[in-house]
Amino acid sequence: MSNKVVKSDAEWRGLLSPEQYHVAREQGTEQPYTGVTWNNHEQGIYHCICCGNDLYRSEDKYDSGTGWPSFRRPVDPENITAREDDSFFSRRTEVRCARCDAHLGHLFDDGPKPTGLRYCMNSAALKFEKSP
């Protein structure tokens, strides 16, 4: 990860689609089974839609049955941050991009081995780059 990325609200609105802005900058959630990467099976890297930070590898992606892209682990734990989220009448762990503070999704402890974690992300917060 490199230096922090800070932009004004107007700059983010100019760079992102309305859905991307809602998810990444307003902590929104896309509908399950609708995102462009939830069912992607190609090899590559998932980057932050806002700043391009490397977030997840395709080899750590799995079908969680939830309709959102799910991963076992991030590329590097330093590329994300996690904090408690008490919205929607439940306690969850929100995952954000450490470089630009974009909302990515949530972390759950019901994933497969070896990590037991499920990084449940929004497709609208991710940009996929296929491996050459």
d(CA 121, CA 23): 10
Calculate mean pLDDT across residues 7-35. 95
Residues of the chain with pLDDT > 70, as a percent, come to 95
Q: Would you say residue 83 has pLDDT above 90? A: no
Residue with tokens 């940009």: 127
Mean of pLDDT over the chain: 93
Q: Which residues contact 113 (CB under 8 A, 6 or more apart)?
A: none
What is the reported pTM? 0.92
Rounded to whole angstroms, the Cα distance separating 118 from 71 reads 6
Given a cut of 80, is residue 86 above it in pLDDT?
Answer: no
Q: Which active-site residues does the annotation give?
A: 120
CATH superfamily ID and name for 9-130: Peptide methionine sulfoxide reductase. (2.170.150.20)
Is the confidence at residue 20, as pLDDT, over 60?
Answer: yes
